[in-house]
Amino acid sequence: MTTTVAILVDGAVYASWLFLVALGLTLTFGVMKILNIAHGSFYAIGAYAAASAVGAYVQAGLSPAGGYLVMAGAAAIAGVVVGYGLERGLLRFMYGRDAVLVLLVTYAVFLILDDVMLLIWGANPYIAYQPDMLLGTSTVFTLPYPNYDLSLIAVAAVIGSGLWWALSRTRRGKMLLTVIHDREMSTFLGIDVAKVFTVTFTLGAVLGALGGALTAPIISVQPGIGAEVIVLAFAVVVIGGMGSIVGAAVGSLAAGFAHAAAVHLFPQAELFVIYALMSLVLIVRPQGLFGQAQPRKI
Amino acid sequence: MSRDRTLPGLAVATLVLLGVAAAAPGWMVFTLVVSLAQGLVVLGLMVLWRAGLMSFGQSLYYAVGGYTVGLINIQFGLSNALLLVLAAPAVAGLLAFLLGFLLARYRDIFFSMLTLAFAMILYGVLVKSSTLGSTDGFSILTPSFLGPHPGPDATQRLLTGLAALIALLAAALVHRYLKSTAGHLATAIRDNEIRVEYLGYSVHRAIHVKYVLAGILAGAGGAIVAMAIGHIDPEMAYWTTAGEFVFVAILAGAGSVAAPFLGAILFVVLRTYAAQYTPHLWHMVLGGTLLLFIVFLPDGVWSLFERACRPLKRRAPS
């Protein structure tokens, strides 16, 4: 019983975290057909920005509750700066080139940002535990859980449904969906595709940074966290079907529960269970659970 | 048509490399053996890249090669370099053959990222295997050759000579393959694979063969590097290792079977100098170079070489 509860709660928390990270990746892919390895850097930059902002805020001795806003704000600003700068400064010159080459370009950016972060924040870990401590813990069926972890579930749900609402219920969102569906046709209809790309990429970067920021209080922020995250996020996106937000949600849940089950029942599999799940899904359904099969070009 | 001078060129290059292995100072021999091992992996990547496929997971076979050497050391106590350097690619090739059934269905970035995921599975397994030393890995027995132990310096030189011969063999065979019909299909597959099928060739099978070939070469590279360094750890399988191979492949270009080895030597030299002058900016140098190459020299260093040779060919009567 305890194990079951632990798997369910841990799984849900882990799934929320995965979802926050994977959301930006799948959005960027859906609209721009760019698989962005630098998304891992956005995550790390968000985590660093949040950790140092929270640190400075706590030092200043201001009301602790405001720390959450500072955390999110720092990540959002970092995301906008890096995402917008990257899209305008580099990626827009790459549109229309071979998809694998664009992938390599984002890999190059990932490598460069790695050292940029090292230059700004150094190699020592940053620890911003205050937002986590402040919320205390609660007990779920005799198991103590940090409230911060549990609230991640709510945050992921709010951000996810917010994005879904914005895409499918607003005018601008529908324009974005049109671009996903058919880029040429939407240009024809008068949609400024270049602008949609810039906005999407920046939004994806902000989501990645926000994912990092929300994780910052529960990990030690240090070099290398981006490299771990990007591959996981990719696996989640592939399980769900690339470019689909519902897919990202389902993929996160599947991966989250699989991971939690492995941790509690079969710890040897902890590190690879998600990739194994991904391979399994691909064998059965190559385009992912919610992906659309691509017709072959002639 | 100009005569193909690849094979004589390779033979001359191998003689030079053997000379380096025999007479050069120790650090240079070590640099060379690591470059040759990496060149073998990149040669496999090049075969795939010609068909428009870029594997981000060659570290899988690289690590399989290394760990095959380690496991044979442990299980059978064998350290014969000739045996190990045959066994490792065989195991890697078998794994590539099995995974190939799945991977041959994917193209573009999906292929890239799936290969990456498989490498990460092996990484996860290795990190959690405490009998194999988890994240620390373990040490490899000093490789032996036929006859008594020649001492550490001579061992490294012999190993480097062996690596040079393997590189020659691999480059010659791959060159032959690329000149065959199946090899020429690569460009056609990249451009339009449905038409390739109309011609009566199986794209699926062609890609499967290329993938197995790349796996075998990466396994050989992993085995050589494991014996040269004397240590293996799960980092060999991590995706950033695969990223370095991709980097070298782009740096080198796909123009010739010699390009991967040239690229690997350039890479190792670049890494040595970068580590010396800008120890904290290694990734930035790597990323910046990659970007510059993609934008300004998409066909790699080899295309410079070809451009330099072309006027000569035009002048010569043929």
Q: Where are the domains of chain B?
A: 6-315
Range of the domain at A61: 2-284
Q: What is the full per-residue pLDDT of chain A (298 aa) written as tens digits?
A: 788 888 888 889 899 999 999 999 998 988 888 889 999 999 999 999 988 888 888 887 777 777 788 888 999 999 999 999 999 988 888 888 888 888 889 999 999 998 899 888 888 888 877 777 777 777 777 777 887 888 889 999 999 999 889 888 888 888 888 888 888 888 888 888 888 889 999 999 999 999 999 888 888 888 888 888 888 898 898 888 887 888 889 999 999 999 999 988 888 888 888 888 988 888 788 777 887 766 555 4
The one-letter amino acid at B314? R
Strand spans (E) along chain A: 137-140, 143-146
Write out the DSSP string of B192-215. -HHHHHHTT--HHHHHHHHHHHHH
Average pLDDT, chain B: 86
Q: Are B287 and A100 in contact (CB < 8 Å)?
A: no
The CATH number covering residue A155 comes to 1.10.3470
**Cβ pair B274, B281 in contact under 8 A:** yes
Query: What pLDDT is recorded for position A201?
Result: 93
Q: Are B105 and A101 in contact (CB < 8 Å)?
A: no
Residue of B nearest to A266 (CA): B128
Residue of A nearest to B195 (CA): A298
Kindly report, residue by residue over B108-166, the tens digit of the pLDDT: 778 887 888 889 889 888 888 888 877 888 888 888 777 777 777 788 888 888 899 99
Task: Return d(Cα A55, Cα A67) in angstroms, integer.
Answer: 9
Q: For chain A, positions 110-129, list CB contacts with chain B under 8 A.
A: 110-112, 114-116, 118-119
Residue B61 confidence (pLDDT) above 80: yes
**Cβ pair A5, A141 in contact under 8 A:** yes
Query: What pLDDT is recorded for position B208?
Result: 93
* Interface contact A53, partner B, CB < 8 A: no
Kindly report, residue by residue over B191-224, the tens digit of the pLDDT: 888 888 888 888 889 999 999 999 999 999 999 9
* Interface contact B234, partner A, CB < 8 A: no
Q: Are A298 and B192 in contact (CB < 8 Å)?
A: yes
**Cβ pair B233, B135 in contact under 8 A:** yes
b/e string for A178-211 if b means 16 or more Cβ within 10 A? bbbeebeebeeeebebeebbbbbbbbbbbbbbbb
Write out the DSSP string of B298-316. TTHHHHHHHHHHHHHHHHS
**Cβ pair A206, A83 in contact under 8 A:** yes
**Cβ pair A104, A223 in contact under 8 A:** no
Report the alpha-carbon angle B312-B317-B318, nearest 5.
Answer: 105
Burial (CB < 10 A; 0-12, 13-18, 19+), residue B198, is: exposed
In this structure, is the dihedral angle defined by the CA atoms of residues A211, A291, B111 and B301, taken in order, positive or negative?
negative
Residue B311 confidence (pLDDT) above 70: no
Query: What pLDDT is recorded for position B1?
Result: 43
Question: How is residue A252 written in tokens?
Answer: 């996160």
Domain annotation covers residue A19: yes
**Cβ pair B88, B28 in contact under 8 A:** no
Residue given tokens 């073998």 in the structure block:
B40
Task: Return d(Cα A196, Cα A167) in angstroms, integer.
Answer: 12
* Interface contact B291, partner A, CB < 8 A: yes
Domain annotation covers residue A294: no
Residue given tokens 């813990």 in the structure block:
A137
Question: How many separate domains does chain A show?
Answer: 1
Q: Are A105 and B294 in contact (CB < 8 Å)?
A: yes
Q: Are B124 and A270 in contact (CB < 8 Å)?
A: yes
The one-letter amino acid at A233? A
Q: Which residues of B touch A107 (CB under 8 A)?
A: 243, 246, 287, 290
Domain annotation covers residue A38: yes
pLDDT band at B318 (very low <50, low <70, confident <90, very high): very low
Q: How many CB atoms lie within 10 A of CB B294?
A: 19
Burial (CB < 10 A; 0-12, 13-18, 19+), residue B292, is: exposed
Q: For chain B, positions 47-66, list CB contacts with chain A under 8 A.
A: 52-54
Q: From residue A226, give the alpha-carbon distance in Å to each of A207, A287, B271.
A: 14, 26, 22
Task: Return d(Cα A295, Cα A180) in angstroms, integer.
Answer: 15
Question: How is residue B144 written in tokens?
Answer: 């032996």
Domain annotation covers residue A17: yes
Which of B109, B283, B290 is closest, CB to CB, to A114? Answer: B283
Task: Return d(Cα B231, Cα A4) in angstroms, integer.
Answer: 41
What ipTM did this prediction achieve?
0.83
Q: In the beta sheet, which residues pair with residue A138? A: A145
Hey, what CATH class is B6-315 in?
A: mainly alpha
Residue of A nearest to B128 (CA): A268
Domain annotation covers residue A211: yes
Q: Which residues of A touch B105 (CB under 8 A)?
A: 286
